[in-house]
């Protein structure tokens, strides 16, 4: 079983409009609602790939109840969310059908008390003995310590469970120092962490800061990986138009799936790249177009070198 942690869960709401214009009223052509937050998106993709997944994090209020009701209908996903007094946030994605661009509005999330944070840590520690890998994903809600992910990484490592960290800013900087097995920043997050805007140099620098492997998302240009086993670049064969929301989460799912399936790094990266691109072709985050995925998987170009470093 794979465990995904989403401390700042959300109800993802996607609006589709003909053309998004500032200072104008818009008629929405379609509305979709899904349980969200980065780790929840990862869990849904993993479940669609056939993995058993447990989701934990925080949930609260009427929005939290909707999230849990929707999760209950996802085959292969087990709900281990921890209740809080505050209300789960909403995230709003507005898709411009004319350009294909997406505008994202993210609420901050509920205030988490010290007692609620302690309750979550107990649940997390109890779950670890039964899991094969864990993903720590997304932003921290108010009240959760900025070093939270660093502590959760150390707890997973002490339990012998490989851990992937996907966050940004100060939580990422502190989390890397705890030596996660994989981090998965995008290019901007990697530059903020290392101070370098050259991706290859930045991935190597991030490894020196503590991560065993660094896989950087380069948007439509694919993935760049620096690991103990070597360095690779995975590039999709074609650009896919659509909604990019959740593409990075699908890449995380691909990396975790490849890890627990014991795939070599080039195959993990090909899977993650194809899933990421296939998510752009899907209407909402946490889903992927299976036809696009299967068509792209064998055509992802992976180049690089094996190293003992």
| Backbone torsions φ then ψ of 221, nearest 5 degrees | -85, 0
Helix 114-127 vs helix 148-158: crossing angle, to nearest 10: 20
Rounded Cα distance between 116 and 152, Å, is 15
Instruction: Name every residue whose Cβ is closer than 8 Å to that of residue 178 and which is 6 or more positions away in sequence.
Output: 149, 150, 151, 153, 154, 157, 210
- Our answer to whether residue 249 is catalytic in this structure is yes
DSSP state of 81: P
Of these residues, 249, 261, 267, 289, which one is catalytic?
249
Instruction: Name every residue whose Cβ is closer than 8 Å to that of residue 136 and which is 6 or more positions away in sequence.
Output: 5, 39, 149, 152, 153, 163, 164, 165, 166, 167, 175, 180
- C-beta of residue 41 within 8 angstroms of C-beta of residue 94: no
Q: Could you give the maximum distance between any two Cα atoms of the chain, in Å?
A: 58
* Runs of H (alpha helix) within the chain: 38-48, 61-71, 114-127, 148-158, 169-177, 187-194, 199-208, 247-260, 265-280, 290-297
Active site residues: 249
């Amino acid at each position: 079983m794979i465990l995904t942690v989403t401390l700042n869960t959300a109800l993802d709401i996607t609006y589709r409009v003909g053309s998004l214009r500032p200072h104008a009223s818009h008629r929405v052509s379609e509305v979709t609602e899904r349980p969200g937050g980065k780790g929840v998106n990862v869990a849904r993709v993993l479940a669609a790939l056939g993995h058993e997944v447990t989701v934990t994090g925080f949930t609260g209020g009427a929005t939290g109840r909707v999230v849990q009701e929707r999760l209950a209908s996802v085959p292969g996903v087990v709900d281990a969310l921890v209740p809080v007094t505050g209300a789960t946030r909403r995230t709003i994605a507005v898709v411009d059908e004319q350009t294909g661009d997406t505008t994202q509005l993210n609420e901050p999330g509920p205030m988490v008390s010290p007692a609620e944070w302690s309750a979550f840590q107990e649940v997390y520690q109890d779950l670890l003995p039964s899991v094969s890998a864990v993903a720590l994903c997304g932003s921290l809600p108010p009240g959760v310590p900025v070093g939270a992910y660093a502590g959760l990484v150390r707890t997973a490592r002490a339990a012998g469970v490989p851990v992937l960290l996907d966050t940004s800013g100060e939580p990422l900087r502190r989390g890397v120092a705890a030596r996660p097995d994989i981090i998965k920043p995008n290019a901007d997050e990697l530059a903020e962490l290392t101070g370098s805007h050259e991706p290859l140099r930045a991935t190597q620098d991030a490894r020196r800061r503590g991560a065993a492997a660094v896989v950087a998302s380069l948007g439509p240009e694919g993935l760049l990986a620096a690991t103990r086993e070597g360095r690779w670049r995975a590039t999709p064969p074609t650009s896919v138009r659509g909604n990019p929301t959740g593409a990075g989460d699908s890449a995380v799912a691909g990396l975790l799936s490849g890890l627990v399936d014991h795939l070599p790094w080039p195959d993990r990266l090909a899977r993650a790249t194809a899933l990421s691109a296939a998510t752009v072709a899907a209407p909402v985050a946490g889903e992927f177009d299976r036809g696009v995925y299967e068509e792209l998987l064998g055509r992802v170009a992976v180049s690089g070198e094996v190293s003992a470093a």
